[in-house]
Amino acid sequence: MKPYNLTSAMSRCRHSAVSKKTDAVVYMRTHGTFSFQAMEADELARSSDWTEAKLKRFLAEGRGQGDRESYRPWLTVMDVPSRGRASRVFSRKCNRVVHLLTDTQLRYFYLLEWDESILDIKEQFPLLDVETIVDQMDESLLKRLKDPKTEVPHVITTTFVITAKDHEGREIQYARAIKDAAELEKKATLERLEIQRRYWEACQVDFAVVTQHEIPVQRSRNIEWVLSALNVEDYGFSSTQIQEYASILQEQLLSSDQSIRAILASFEREMKEEAGTGLLVFRYLIASRLIQINMDADIQLSATPKDLGLKVNMLQGGEKRFGAVR
């Protein structure tokens, strides 16, 4: 998943700086003047009539603060007239509901949720620590950063701020702006992204732009498909029962050369369960990483476990070991 090259895209824009001391608005540790043109107020505001009272309420509610389950996004699906499918999704990694404002954000979120190196995900993160970078600021930019009716400065957000562990086990942080590719044709969008780039550069945090073209959609859809099976209570099963079923189906997948569909049908007959139960347990096995398959390919139920390259997780000495289906 290669991020979009913002530096190349910004070559059409004038590189200089943004700075302005405000109560809560974006800042950059740079010098000079950065001129905004054609930045429409609704693109920054995300909602009409941004007022001082609303700003103070957001801050008092602790938006943009906290970690994991205590984090509150600056914007929620209720605050924003979405341009796509806005989603509220429970994150087991963060132990809370996350707010995703477009389909592209949703697709990227599932990649993060599946990645075992990711420790925390903060969506719709506000650039609030506006400490003060008080250099010259172009008057047109200053005007555009304010609500046209109330003149209260809007808060720019970065889609995701992510905490992860690197290959040496050290915690690292990086920021990603998720955009539909068509938006990158707009100069105003590129200029806002440049503000974010400079902000995160000043914070010494890696920043990149990701569009739908950089997201492996099949992988994301597969992850979404299997993760919902972890909510076993929604399907009328207890965790004990699903684990028993998972162990039985795991053995059948390991020993059978039939198609996945045939194995699941046989499992349902043996367990005297209704149609669909076998598929639920199969998804549960993948989501729990008790079996391993290629998540980048379409999961064909007509294929055999061997065709899918399926591997079964076996616990040996307290460690996970995957055995390939023969």
The confidence score (pLDDT) of residue 4 equals: 52
How far apart are the C-alpha atoms of 292 and 312, rounded to whole Å?
6
- The span from the CA of 158 to the CA of 125, in Å, is 5
Residues near 316 by Cβ (< 8 Å), separated by ≥ 6? none
pLDDT score for 189: 87
Look at residue 193 in the predicted model and tell me its pLDDT: 87
* Length, in residues, of the chain: 326
Angle between helices 239-255 and 277-287 (to 10 degrees): 90
6-215: which CATH topology?
Answer: Trna Endonuclease; Chain: A, domain 1 (3.40.1350)
Q: Where are the domains of the chain?
A: 6-215, 225-324
Q: Measuring CA to CA, which residue among 167, 51, 198, 175 is closest to residue 125?
A: 175
Backbone angles phi, psi at 186, to 5 degrees: -95, 130
Q: Could you tell me the fold of the domain covering 225-324? A: Arc Repressor Mutant, subunit A (1.10.10)
pLDDT at 80 (0 to 100): 78
**What residue type is assigned to position 319 of the chain?**
E
Q: Cβ distance 31 to 135 under 8 Å?
A: yes
Ordered DSSP codes for 98-132: EEE-SHHHHHHHHHHHH-TTEEEEEEEEE------
Per-residue pLDDT of 212-262, as tens digits, reads 999 999 999 999 999 999 999 999 999 999 999 999 999 999 999 999 999
Common-topology check for domains 6-215 and 225-324: no
Residue 182 burial class via C-beta count within 10 angstroms: exposed 0-12, middle 13-18, buried 19 and up? exposed
- Residues of the chain where predicted confidence (pLDDT) is lower than 50: 7-47, 130-137, 315-322, 326
3-state secondary structure of 235: helix
The share of the chain scoring above pLDDT 90, in percent, equals 61
